[in-house]
Amino acid sequence: MSRSRRSVSQIASLSIAAFSGIWIGLAGCAPISFFESPPAPKAPASPVALPPPSPTYSKEAELIAVGDIMMHGSQIKSGYDSNSQTYSYDRFFSSVKDILAQGDWVIANLETPLAGAESGYSGYPRFNAPAALADALQAAGFNILTTANNHSLDRGAQGVVTTLENIRARGLQPVGTHATAAEAERILILEKQQIKMAILAYTYGTNGIPIPPGRDYLVALINEAKIIADIAKAKQQGADLVTVMLHFGTEYQRQPNPEQQQLVANLIKAGADIILGSHPHVVQPYEVLELTGASGPRKGAVIYSMGNFISNQRGQTKDLGVIFQVKVRKNFPEQTVEITDIKALPTWVHRYTASGSYQFRVLPLQAALAAHLAAQSDPLLTPSDYAQMQADLEAMNRHLTSLFPAAN
């Protein structure tokens, strides 16, 4: 197996060409009578009109993905309005909404059940957040939520089902957990700008909470053979690209472990195009892999962990995340698909105090610092905040590209 890495690459699929043939018949000639005038000569046949060539054009779309959407107790409390006795979490994402709006497929890892008030709201170790969180995610621009993670079963089987109902009621697409066996057999394929992307999601486990007997379909667990079969199934169903969400790795480790790297390599060789990692709660680097497998050369983009997008975890980079952007282009009439650009925008969870309780919001570091330099400083941020943000941005940019060849 040959293996190399590049920061930006193109992923090509097989061109599809149509071939047509033209049948030309030749008419025979009848004998001419001596007593009859010979027939007038026939006009030459008009040339057969060929169809005009298919127009050459391309379509572009963008995948945007973020890491863990956590809901610790203080976060749940931060959105409560005692006057209306309702919850709202729109402020979490107000500073990143414009970035998310650029995406066509906009994905987050929802690492909490939305199992309803009757199940009781709580943070770690067994999460359950108000369904208002899904309202905030939808308003922020997310349209896909992966629900396969180690907290999927925190509120049991019924919690899985209720979470799916709450997500779908907001027009969002869940992936990775299922209410029925038939549902688990379906591949999520979403078409944007004439580009069909399949999205798959799996988790390493459920924190030791057993999946109920006979209901294995509830949570998609990481099983390499099954994932490879699902990739093939997605391709058979017409997917131009396959994105695989993997909840894997070692918590708080900033580099991928060998098991992560081997699984990623095998899935790319099997046909995966983009792999999005979560679970470590810290950001791990991204890279583009070029691999040679049984079907020939393959390329794929992977970010091993996108970190915490929103949480109450602090320090040691646990309050940092990333907005991962992948632009893709489909060329017509060849129908080849390629990745044209990859960006990773570091983010920071700003925790501050207002009205006697913690409040939270996600800040895009580069944009926040640019506004500060343009004399548009945020009144909620102190000079020491800005100094730390600058240091975090520089360190994160180095870290994210630490697997690039030039960094070795």
Dist CA 177 CA 55 (whole Å): 41
What is the model's pLDDT at position 295? 74
DSSP string, 268-291: HHTT--EEEEESSSSEEEEEEEEE
* Enclosing H/E stretch for 147: none
pLDDT tens column, 186-224? 999 999 999 999 999 999 999 999 999 999 999 999 999
| Interacting residues of 132 by C-beta distance below 8 A, sequence separation 6+ | 79, 86, 87, 88, 89
pLDDT band at 40 (very low <50, low <70, confident <90, very high): low
Per the CB < 8 A criterion, the answer to whether 333 and 52 are in contact is: no
Nearest Cα to 388, choosing from 335, 337, 320, 322? 320
Q: Is the pLDDT reported for residue 53 higher than 80? A: no
What are the residue ranges spanned by the domains of the chain?
Answer: 3-9+56-407
Percent of the chain whose pLDDT exceeds 70: 87
Q: Which pLDDT tens digit goes with each residue over 309-323?
A: 999 999 999 999 999
Return the C-alpha torsion angle 280, 353, 369, 283, nearest 10.
Answer: 0
CA neighbor of 137 nearest in space, from 84, 89, 184: 89
Q: What H or E segment, with its residue span, contains residue 78?
A: helix 73-78
- Pairwise CA distance, residues 92 & 105, whole Å: 20
Instruction: Give the pLDDT score at 264.
Output: 98
Q: Does domain 3-9+56-407 match CATH 3.60.21.10?
A: yes
Whole-number pLDDT of residue 26? 30
3-class secondary structure, 67: strand
More confidently predicted of 141 and 50: 141
